Amino acid sequence: MSYSNLFQNIDTWLISKDNVNLLPKQKWIQAIVLYEVQDYSIFRTEGGEELNTEEILIDNEKISFPVLLGRKLKAAQRRTGHSLLRNYIQDYECSFETTEGGVTGLCKECAECFLRGAAGGEKDYNIQSRVYYSAYYCVEPENIITSLITRNAIDDKVKVTGAALTSNQVVKPFAHFPAIFSLYSVTKEELIYFLKTVNRARRIGARITEGGYLKPYSVALIGYKFELVSPLKLSLYIYKKIKDKITLVSTEEIVKYAQDFVNDIVQKYKSVNVYTLDFLNEAENVNDSELVNDLNSIVKTYLNQVQEVNK
């Protein structure tokens, strides 16, 4: 196996491929990523027209920050995972469709379903997700990092600008969102697959055919018995570090601050492991087809166990 050397120092917090079990062990990997917005982006809830924001009390002052909801990232990563597996598995038919009756189309028999969970449909079992998402807070305040864009329609016949159609509050380029994904009781194969979907799902939010390009940067992988770091605390820490030089701070500097925060926290615990090299790139360098083969054998083990339970 060509990737057994990857992320070796967090191995104790991963499940060995020969030991996979539907029953989880107390092993967590927190994957911390910094998103750099490289385009105008619209982050809002379905049906709502307003940008998601949250007011946070900092030193007796309420400051509003844009918020990126974890389920936006989950949906984009899941679709990316489906298309990755579809490249290598013949007759792969797992997909994510939402209907009035709920979600349909998930096969409950693939690496994506076993990792990110699957409910509904015809099969009489559900799979709980082993990836946990949160809300992610921009480190730049709303009043600095957002603007209002109005869309006009141009009348084709008379070539004049028509009435304003809609106004959208957008997050501007070079906004930064630190995100933390917590993976519970996963194998190295599943972790690498997950990181590939993080790295490749780069269009996030509404109207993504016209904007919403986000680039993820590796911050740290943390292996421990439970989740150590929360996205809210991480964003507030960074905001306090950069608030006097906002818009003058590079993405690399923010990655450094995020790593400082992680190191401060993990120092208090024994036997925690941290990996701060460019894990997104390293996961990307693992051969897709070889990885999918290994994932398929893991899925077989899970499926055998499901059948045993349902006997």
Residues near Zn ion, by CB under 5 A: 94, 107, 110, 113
Q: Which is nearer to Zn ion, 110 or 198 (CB)?
A: 110
Q: Which two tokens stand for residue 72?
A: 């936006």
Cβ proximity to Zn ion: between 193 and 257 the closer is: 193
Can you tell me which residue has the tokens 């996963």? Answer: 186
Nearby residues of 137 by Cβ (< 8 Å), 6 or more positions away: 54, 56, 65, 66, 67, 177, 178, 231, 232, 235, 236
Minimum distance between the CB of residue 197 and Zn ion, rounded to whole angstroms? 13
CB of 102 to Zn ion, least distance (A): 16
d(CA 181, CA 274): 15
CB of 115 to Zn ion, least distance (A): 10
CB-closest chain residue to Zn ion = 94
Closer residue to Zn ion in complex, CB, 43/193: 193
Q: Choose between 259 and 301: whose C-beta lies nearer to Zn ion.
A: 301
Dihedral of alpha carbons 214, 220, 226, 229, sign: negative
Residue with smaller CB distance to Zn ion, 75 or 107: 107
Distance CA 21, CA 302 (A): 7
The minimum distance between CB 123 and Zn ion, in angstroms, equals 10
Residue type, 194: F
Whether residue 53 contacts residue 170, with contact meaning beta carbons closer than 8 Å, is answered with no
Residue 119 Cβ vs Zn ion, minimum distance, rounded to whole Å: 12
